[in-house]
Chains A and B, each alone.
Chain A
């Protein structure tokens, strides 16, 4: 079982969700590298700064509708992405995203791109693959592969339920007041007898289940 849910990952998940909420409203404001204060209604937190407005070639991310966005609460986390510019996505339904994956081309890449202008039959398989990886991050099979994340999720859910169960057990032992006397077995027995004597629901309900001749339940 792949236990990938470390504290840091949870933290980054939370940061990502929070960051999306923040940047969707203020992506346009944060577009040119100035210090990002955010709109007035945001939660107070340590000063977050947009460190770069460049379209960074971001590494592999999960198939979420939101690409990597995270404001630097921790300085080592990735830079903010300017969502007002064309973005790269690995999605099944968008085979050709708005921009190429790799923006920054090395001289080797550039010469390969030149070679691409000629007949493609002259390119070797490695060169063709290199060209593919310049434009795209993940292939379709890589994009579509399933992960074992569900196991972590189920484990987490069961763990939390178990923890809650322990808390409840402790509560009944130490927190709850003693049960009322009406819950005692003796009281309950007397209560049942009284209900039968009263003929409670004699046709289809309670007393109907009691055999009055034999003095037992039917």
Chain B
């Protein structure tokens, strides 16, 4: 829902976070104007499945994250959670922290998205023992 609600516009500063579920920011994975558009739920499910692969390797994690960050959206908490769990399977704490920094950066001027994300991820962060960038003090220069 949240990912659907936030369109990161080029001007950035003026856009308001819309939270009504009716606002569908449909992301087609291909540039067709016709044809079936992927819904937000399908998009999320696809990415969660991607990161949930039990034997995911480091390259796939990097490729997935870099691609996901390339999209014009902030990933849903469940996608980030799957990515963090993938980091755990790969014994890569640094990437886990980097992912949190990256999604915060993706939110851009919308300062309320990242706290929401962290709030939703709290159980996972505690379970895996991942410190947020704020806890480590690297959220400031």
Bound complex: CA A192 to CA B128 (Å): 89
| A94 vs B64: C-alpha distance when bound (angstroms) | 11
Q: Say whether A121 contacts B104, CB under 8 Å.
A: no
Main secondary structure on B side of the interface with A: helix
Which residues between 135 and 182 of chain A lie within 8 Å of chain B, taking CB atoms? 135-136, 139-142, 144-145
Are A93 and B97 in contact, with the CB atoms below 8 A? no
Question: Once the chains are docked, how many angstroms separate the CA of A88 from the CA of B137?
Answer: 23
In this complex, what residue of B is CB-closest to A98? B62
Contact A96 B95 (CB under 8 A): yes
Q: How far is the CB of B44 from chain A (nearest CB, A)?
A: 19
In contact, A96 and B66 (Cβ under 8 angstroms): yes
A135 to chain B, nearest CB (A): 4
**In the complex the two chains form, what is the Cα distance from A96 to B137 in whole Å?**
20
A128 interfacial contact with B, CB 8 Å: yes
Query: CB < 8 Å: which of A95, A120, A122 contacts B65?
Result: A95
Closest residue to A101 on the B side, CB-wise?
B94
Task: Please indicate the chain A residues that have their CB under 8 angstroms from the CB of B102 in the complex.
Answer: 92, 95, 140
Q: Which residues from chain A contact B131 at a C-beta distance below 8 Å? A: 125, 128
Q: Is B112 an interface residue (CB 8 A)?
A: no
Instruction: Provide the residues of chain A in CB contact with B65, threshold 8 Å.
Output: 95-96
| Bound form: Cα–Cα A129–B130 in Å | 11
Interface size class of A (residues with CB under 8 A): 20 to 34
Q: Assess the B91–A116 pair: CB atoms within 8 A.
A: yes
Asked if A205 lies at the interface with its beta carbon under 8 angstroms from chain B, I say no
A56 contacts chain B at the CB level, 8 A cutoff: no
B133 touches A135 (CB 8 A): no
Determine whether the beta carbon of B69 is less than 8 Å from that of A95. Answer: yes
Inter-chain contact A136/B98, CB cutoff 8 Å: yes
CB proximity to A under 8 Å, residues B64-80: 65-66, 69-70
B129: chain A residues within 8 A (beta carbon): 119-123
Q: Determine the chain B residues whose CB is within 8 A of the CB of A97 once the complex forms.
A: 62
Instruction: Find out whether the CB atom of A134 lies under 8 angstroms from the CB atom of B66.
Output: no
**B135 touching A125 by the CB < 8 A rule?**
yes
Q: Which residues of A are found within 8 Å of B105, using beta-carbon distances?
A: 92, 140, 144
Shortest CB distance A211–B (Å): 54
- Knowing A96-B62, A140-B104 are in contact, say whether A132-B69 is a contact too (CB < 8 A): no
List 20 additional A-B contacts (Cβ < 8 Å) besides A96-B98, A129-B137, A132-B93: A95-B69, A95-B98, A96-B62, A96-B99, A120-B128, A120-B129, A122-B129, A123-B93, A123-B129, A125-B136, A128-B136, A131-B94, A132-B94, A132-B98, A135-B92, A135-B94, A140-B104, A140-B105, A141-B141, A144-B105
